């Protein structure tokens, strides 16, 4: 009895969490402007209209530039740090993780405004580069967390035996460590990318001019109900969920 | 003695006696706690040496110092007359078989064995030939192209051995080589190792805690205890002529009788009714010269009883006492105990256990352990997070006069926040706390379900959680607008079905709507840390609780929830902070009805353009949030401890 009750409750909560997204996808293919059931018919018109918009190509390009740079940058920087953190004693690594994790806990608005105030003081002009730099702050902790967990899983006797057999520290990394953590690195990069792609608040304050996909959504939201948003939302979902799903598979994420 | 010419002293060492390995005063301390006391040890080419001792005695540390993985605190290591003390492992003429083997999982057996030679740049044909030799020698022909994951423990052990032996090391080091294997396999592999030693020659040094293993394989045994070398000798030496009480009891069974030593006999104190005539172990007697406190020791003690004033009870003939009958479990006063006796000694042993011991490497920070690698990440943290926040904090003390920002130290912004914004701050804190509590509770239900239902349901819930986690912030808010709006799904469906005439406006633009949307958005973020914490719980301890009569509810209350406190707080804090700093959701689904701190802060950067005031609002909100989170933590811990 209790068992069925909790199962039911869990399913309701999960539906509460996922249904809105499913509706967006569903209605992006619906013909009616107003969202209502039953759906009168199905069409790809909203996608065609979206692709025909002037801002869309620029927003897509900006999003891709930012996402790719953040993915590469955060993974490279985060992996270097993870290599040190993974070898720390538990106390110290917990402290390091706490420090590097702080930006993850900070509301994006605070992060955006503090960086904005700082950049304008030091005279840094807003551009895609400022967005990329700001995105590094909150994507880094994810990379460090994922990569250091994997590095900690590696049997230390492996690196030791490579050294013992004549490998220099760099050779150990090239021939043993890197091949073993490669999928994890790829996964961490994809997670950083999907977080970056999804960010609206920080991007909005720091981009200066131009659009990314989320800021384009924001602009369209203010003009009232527009089913093109459904189409754009579905595309963003496809992007973020797609990369995230591949990433989770690669990092063998299980909680 | 003093006039002995120097030349003679040097010349006196014959060439043949030149040891292959010589350790001089070698010691290791961890944070001032000695793990290995200064040890002098040397052994010859061709020796098969065992380092024997109980766990935590420093034997692995000694071996790792030989291999170059642990830097000695003091002393010298010479191999073949060359000082190798400062050399890293890759430059030493030693190779090691690690406990746990350390095989490379991304290489086949063949590639594993050939790894060292390939690094040396040996010609490919020669590598292949020597690898084939080693494969044949270790009888791994049938498995040569498998990855290590598809080998049994014994096969993995052979590969590790082959991988080290192919390097033709001057000294082969083996760290508990057979520890992970079952008895039968261990015996078989011991036999193989001995055959290999006989066949290939060379010097083998292995670490073990198994007395029989040491006795069976080694021609010389080094017995260690509590960081000290207790005795070095052949198996016969350490068994028949133990140099200390520890060696006597650690190697084989022993009877111990406390007494005083006089000449060749040990006399039992007190009643003087028992005199141990001789200590015997398998027929060889150990003379005990000198006088003082001593132990009689032997598997079979030959003892005679004396009665005061009456002479021997059984004159002329000693009776045998069976093993075990006189075993004295512990006594602090034993011979040559010195400063290591008593509690100090025991305390040190416990300290050593916590040193990390096995598998620890402290060779100089190599490329990928060098703290300098953290520099880029630290730069990002420092320049893009800490510096902006500190600067933002400084700015919060500036003033805006006549649309111009005036630097200075003024509390006027904070005064304004206190005067005008306490209401919104309280409202923001209240709605954030409500959302955070509800979200965390709901998230726990889902996380618990994922954790307990291993099957399809768990997988489905976890998948849904992970996918919605990355499902787009704005898109989710927008979706809720389309559900709750005036022309949204609920209203238009209800109107369409004829349930209501007019759309309900109140669905959107209310605090409830904001709470609903944020809860839905935050749920996956709250589920993951909780699920992680649940997974870390040892299920056996919960089964044990059930076994002891705890109801499922009691297990949840007394076992599961207290263990989840850090994760519950993480979830709570995450939800609280995101809500307290959000302005998009209130704007899009709260309209003008719901104004939270995020909206006020954001407007200082948009319309009103008063950055210092916005900064002051930000820090007030952050401090309030931190206070609420700390209070929640304390409250939760109190709540779960009280039960």
Q: Which pLDDT tens digit goes with each residue over B196-232?
A: 888 888 899 999 988 888 888 888 999 999 888 888 9
Judge whether residue B369 has pLDDT over 80: no
Average pLDDT, chain A: 86
Chain B residues in contact with A98 (beta carbon < 8 A): none
Q: Which pLDDT tens digit goes with each residue over B383-415?
A: 999 999 999 999 889 888 777 777 888 888 899
Q: Which pLDDT tens digit goes with each residue over A135-174?
A: 999 999 999 998 998 888 888 888 889 999 988 888 888 8
All structural domains of chain B: 16-235 (3.40.50.300), 254-335 (no CATH), 365-393 (no CATH), 396-642 (1.10.3720.10)
Average pLDDT, chain B: 77
Judge whether residue B363 has pLDDT over 70: no
Q: Which pLDDT tens digit goes with each residue over B519-559?
A: 999 999 899 889 988 988 888 888 888 888 888 888 888 88
Q: How far is A46 from chain B (nearest CA, A)?
A: 16
Chain B residues in contact with A119 (beta carbon < 8 A): 388
Q: What are phi and psi of A107, to 5 degrees?
A: -60, 140
Reported confidence tier of residue B321, pLDDT bands at 50, 70, 90: very low
Q: Does B528 touch chain A (CB under 8 A)?
A: yes
Q: Which pLDDT tens digit goes with each residue over B79-115?
A: 988 999 888 888 899 999 988 888 999 899 999 999 9
Q: How far is A176 from chain B (nearest CA, A)?
A: 7
Judge whether residue B337 has pLDDT over 70: no
Chain B residues in contact with A106 (beta carbon < 8 A): 385, 577, 581
User: What per-residue confidence (pLDDT) applies to A251?
Assistant: 67
Q: Mean of the pLDDT values across residues A120-124?
A: 88
Radius of gyration of chain A (CA): 22
CATH of A46-250, picked from 3.30.499.10, 1.10.3210.10, 3.90.1010.10, 1.10.3720.10, is 1.10.3720.10
CB neighbours (10 Å) of residue B18? 13
CB contact under 8 A, B385 and A103: yes
Which of A3, A4, A10, A98 best probes binding to B when mutated, by most B CB atoms within 10 angstroms? A10
User: What per-residue confidence (pLDDT) applies to B88?
Assistant: 87
User: What per-residue confidence (pLDDT) applies to B253?
Assistant: 64
Locate A207 and state its tokens: 């981009």
Determine contact, residues A142/A150, Cβ cutoff 8 Å.
no
Reported confidence tier of residue B313, pLDDT bands at 50, 70, 90: very low
Beta-strand pair B203-208/B171-175: parallel
User: What per-residue confidence (pLDDT) applies to B39?
Assistant: 86
Is it true that the peptide bond before A38 is cis, omega within 30 degrees of 0?
yes
Q: Mean of the pLDDT values across residues B490-498?
A: 79
Residue of B nearest to A121 (CA): B391
Q: Does B445 touch chain A (CB under 8 A)?
A: yes
| Whole-number Å distance between alpha carbons of B375 and B371 | 8
CA proximity to B627, closest of B432, B458, B336: B432
Reported confidence tier of residue B303, pLDDT bands at 50, 70, 90: very low
Reported confidence tier of residue B297, pLDDT bands at 50, 70, 90: low
User: What per-residue confidence (pLDDT) applies to B354?
Assistant: 32
Chain A residues in contact with B615 (beta carbon < 8 A): 113, 117
Judge whether residue B628 has pLDDT over 90: yes
Percent of chain B scoring above 90 in pLDDT? 26
Judge whether residue A203 has pLDDT over 90: yes
Reported confidence tier of residue B132, pLDDT bands at 50, 70, 90: very high
Reported confidence tier of residue A225, pLDDT bands at 50, 70, 90: low
3-state secondary structure of A251: coil
Determine contact, residues B574/A105, Cβ cutoff 8 Å.
yes
Q: Mean of the pLDDT values across residues A217-242?
A: 81
Judge whether residue A191 has pLDDT over 70: yes
| Whole-number Å distance between alpha carbons of A79 and A123 | 30
Q: Which pLDDT tens digit goes with each residue over A4-55?
A: 888 899 899 999 988 888 888 888 888 777 666 667 778 888 888 888 888 8
Q: Does B95 touch chain A (CB under 8 A)?
A: yes
User: What per-residue confidence (pLDDT) applies to B328?
Assistant: 28
| Whole-number Å distance between alpha carbons of A252 and A250 | 5
Q: Edge-to-edge strands of the sheet including B33-43?
A: B33-43, B21-30, B74-79, B82-83
Lowest mean pLDDT among A44-48, A184-188, B46-50, B359-363: B359-363
| Whole-number Å distance between alpha carbons of A79 and B407 | 40
| Whole-number Å distance between alpha carbons of A159 and A172 | 6
Lowest mean pLDDT among A87-91, A109-113, B133-137: A87-91
Q: How far is A185 from chain B (nearest CA, A)?
A: 15
Chain A residues in contact with B488 (beta carbon < 8 A): 35
User: What per-residue confidence (pLDDT) applies to A35?
Assistant: 67
3-state secondary structure of B301: strand
* Helix residue ranges per DSSP H, B101-252: 109-120, 124-137, 153-165, 183-200, 211-217, 235-240, 245-250
Judge whether residue B237 has pLDDT over 90: no
Chain B residues in contact with A144 (beta carbon < 8 A): 377
Reported confidence tier of residue B325, pLDDT bands at 50, 70, 90: very low
Q: Mean of the pLDDT values across residues A195-205?
A: 91
Which member of B464, B482, B618 has the closest CB to residue A23?
B482
Chain B residues in contact with A145 (beta carbon < 8 A): none
Which of B60, B117, B388, B398 best probes binding to A when mutated, by most A CB atoms within 10 angstroms? B388
Q: Does B275 touch chain A (CB under 8 A)?
A: no
Beta-strand pair B48-52/B220-225: parallel
CA A72 to chain CA centroid, Å, is: 12
Which of B113, B377, B443 best probes binding to A when mutated, by most A CB atoms within 10 angstroms? B377
CB contact under 8 A, A160 and B89: yes
Chain B residues in contact with A96 (beta carbon < 8 A): 374
Judge whether residue B306 has pLDDT over 50: no
Q: What are phi and psi of B448, to 5 degrees?
A: -65, -40
User: What per-residue confidence (pLDDT) applies to B571?
Assistant: 92
Reported confidence tier of residue B260, pLDDT bands at 50, 70, 90: low
CB neighbours (10 Å) of residue B457? 16
DSSP string for B482-516: HHHSTTSHHHHHHHHHTS-SS--GGGSSSHHHHHH
In the 3-class helix/strand/coil scheme, how is B295-360 assigned residue by residue?
EEEECCEEEEEEECCCEECCCCCCEEECCCCCCCCCCCCCCCCHHHCHHHHHHHHHHHHCCCCCCC
Count how many pairs of residues, chain A against chain B, have C-beta atoms within 8 Å: 308
User: What per-residue confidence (pLDDT) applies to B480?
Assistant: 86
Locate B123 and state its tokens: 């010609």
CA geometry: angle A25, A30, A36, nearest 5 deg: 95
ipTM: 0.88
User: What per-residue confidence (pLDDT) applies to B318?
Assistant: 35
- Which helix (H) or strand (E) segment holds residue B230: the answer is strand B228-233
| Whole-number Å distance between alpha carbons of B247 and B221 | 11
Chain B residues in contact with A201 (beta carbon < 8 A): 583-584
Q: Mean of the pLDDT values across residues B250-265?
A: 61
Q: Does B580 touch chain A (CB under 8 A)?
A: yes
Which of A9, A30, A104, A110 best probes binding to B when mutated, by most B CB atoms within 10 angstroms? A110
Residues in chain A: 255
Higher pLDDT pick, B119 / B349: B119
Give me the residue label for tokens 């065992």.
B50
Higher pLDDT pick, A237 / B582: B582
CB contact under 8 A, A27 and B482: yes
User: What per-residue confidence (pLDDT) applies to B33?
Assistant: 85
Reported confidence tier of residue B51, pLDDT bands at 50, 70, 90: very high
């Amino acid at each position: 009895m209790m068992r069925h009750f909790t199962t039911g409750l869990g399913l309701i909560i999960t539906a509460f969490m996922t249904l809105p997204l499913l509706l967006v996808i569903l209605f992006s293919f619906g013909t009616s402007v107003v969202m209502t059931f039953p759906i009168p018919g199905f069409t790809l018109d909203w996608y065609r209209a979206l692709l025909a918009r002037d801002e869309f190509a620029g927003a897509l390009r900006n999003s891709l530039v930012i996402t790719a740079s953040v993915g590469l940058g955060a993974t490279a920087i985060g992996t270097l740090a993870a290599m040190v953190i993974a070898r720390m004693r538990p106390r110290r690594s917990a402290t390091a993780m706490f420090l590097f994790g702080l930006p993850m806990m900070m509301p994006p608005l605070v992060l955006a405004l503090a960086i904005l105030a700082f950049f304008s003081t030091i005279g840094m002009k807003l551009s895609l580069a400022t967005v990329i730099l700001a995105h590094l702050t909150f994507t880094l902790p994810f990379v460090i967390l994922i990569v250091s967990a994997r590095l900690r899983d590696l049997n230390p006797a492996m690196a030791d035996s490579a050294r013992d057999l004549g490998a220099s520290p760099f050779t150990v990394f090239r021939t043993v460590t890197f091949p073993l953590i490669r999928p994890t690195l790829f996964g961490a990069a994809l997670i950083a990318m999907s977080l970056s792609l999804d960010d609206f608040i920080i991007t909005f304050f720091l981009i200066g001019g131009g659009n990314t996909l989320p800021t384009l959504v924001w602009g369209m939201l203010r003009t009232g109900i527009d089913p093109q948003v459904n189409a754009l939302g579905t595309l963003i979902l496809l992007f973020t969920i797609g990369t995230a799903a591949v990433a989770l598979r690669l990092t063998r994420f299980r909680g | 003695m003093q006039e002995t010419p120097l030349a003679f002293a040097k010349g006196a060492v014959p060439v043949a006696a030149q040891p292959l390995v010589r350790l001089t005063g070698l010691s290791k301390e961890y944070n001032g706690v000695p793990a290995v006391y200064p040890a002098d040890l040397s052994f010859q080419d061709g020796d098969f040496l065992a380092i024997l001792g109980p766990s935590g005695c420093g034997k692995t540390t000694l071996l790792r110092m030989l291999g170059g993985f642990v830097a000695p605190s003091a002393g010298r290591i010479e191999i073949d007359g060359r000082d190798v003390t400062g050399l890293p492992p890759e430059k030493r003429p030693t190779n090691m078989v690690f406990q746990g083997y350390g095989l490379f999982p991304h290489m086949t057996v063949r590639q594993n064995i050939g790894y060292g030679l390939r690094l040396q740049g040996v010609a490919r044909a020669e590598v292949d030939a020597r690898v084939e030799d080693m494969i044949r020698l270790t009888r791994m022909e049938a498995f040569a192209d498998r990855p290590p994951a598809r080998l049994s423990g014994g096969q993995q052990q052979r590969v590790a051995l082959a991988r080290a032996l192919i390097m033709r090391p001057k000294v082969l080091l083996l760290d508990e080589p057979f520890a992970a294997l079952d008895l039968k396999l261990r015996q078989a592999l011991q036999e193989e190792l001995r055959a290999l030693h006989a066949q290939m020659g060379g010097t083998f040094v292995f670490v073990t805690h198994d007395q029989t293993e040491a006795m069976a394989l080694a021609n010389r045994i080094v017995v260690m205890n509590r960081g000290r070398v207790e005795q070095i000798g052949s198996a016969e030496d350490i068994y028949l002529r133990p140099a200390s009480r520890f060696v006597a009891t650690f190697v084989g069974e022993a009877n111990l009788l406390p007494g005083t030593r006089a000449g060749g006999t040990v006399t039992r104190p007190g009643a003087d009714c028992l005199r141990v005539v001789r200590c015997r172990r398998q027929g060889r007697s150990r003379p005990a010269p000198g006088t003082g406190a001593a132990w009689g020791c032997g598997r079979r003690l030959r003892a005679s009883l004396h009665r005061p004033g009456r002479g021997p009870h059984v004159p002329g003939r000693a009776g045998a006492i069976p093993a075990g009958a006189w075993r004295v479990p512990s006594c602090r006063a034993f011979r040559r105990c010195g400063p290591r006796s008593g509690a100090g000694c025991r305390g040190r042993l416990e300290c050593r256990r916590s040193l990390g011991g096995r598998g620890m490497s402290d060779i100089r920070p190599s490329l990928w352990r060098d703290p300098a690698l953290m520099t880029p990440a630290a730069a990002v943290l420092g320049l893009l997070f800490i510096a902006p926040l500190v600067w933002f904090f400084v700015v919060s003390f500036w003033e805006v006069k006549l649309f111009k920002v005036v630097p200075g130290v003024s509390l006027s912004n904070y005064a304004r926040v206190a005067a005008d914004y306490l209401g919104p701050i309280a409202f923001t804190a209240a709605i954030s706390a409500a959302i955070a509590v509800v979200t965390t509770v709901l998230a726990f239900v889902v996380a618990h379900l994922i954790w307990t239902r291993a099957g399809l349901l768990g997988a489905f819930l976890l998948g849904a959680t992970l996918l919605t986690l990355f499902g787009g912030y704005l898109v989710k808010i927008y979706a809720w607008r389309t559900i709750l709006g005036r022309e949204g799904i609920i209203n238009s469906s209800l109107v369409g079905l004829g349930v209501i005439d007019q759309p309900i406006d109140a669905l959107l633009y209310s605090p409830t709507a904001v709470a609903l949307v944020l809860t839905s958005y935050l749920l996956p973020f709250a589920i993951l840390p909780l699920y992680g914490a649940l997974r870390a719980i040892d299920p056996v301890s919960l089964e044990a609780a059930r076994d002891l009569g705890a109801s499922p509810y009691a297990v949840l209350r007394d076992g599961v929830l207290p263990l989840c406190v850090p994760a519950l707080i993480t979830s709570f804090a995450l939800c609280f902070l995101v809500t307290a700093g959000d302005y998009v959701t209130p704007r899009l689904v709260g309209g003008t009805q719901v104004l939270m701190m995020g909206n006020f802060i954001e407007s200082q950067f948009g319309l009103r353009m008063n950055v210092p005031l916005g900064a002051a609002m930000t820090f007030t909100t952050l401090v309030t949030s931190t206070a609420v989170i700390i209070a929640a933590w304390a409250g939760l811990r109190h709540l779960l401890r009280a039960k």
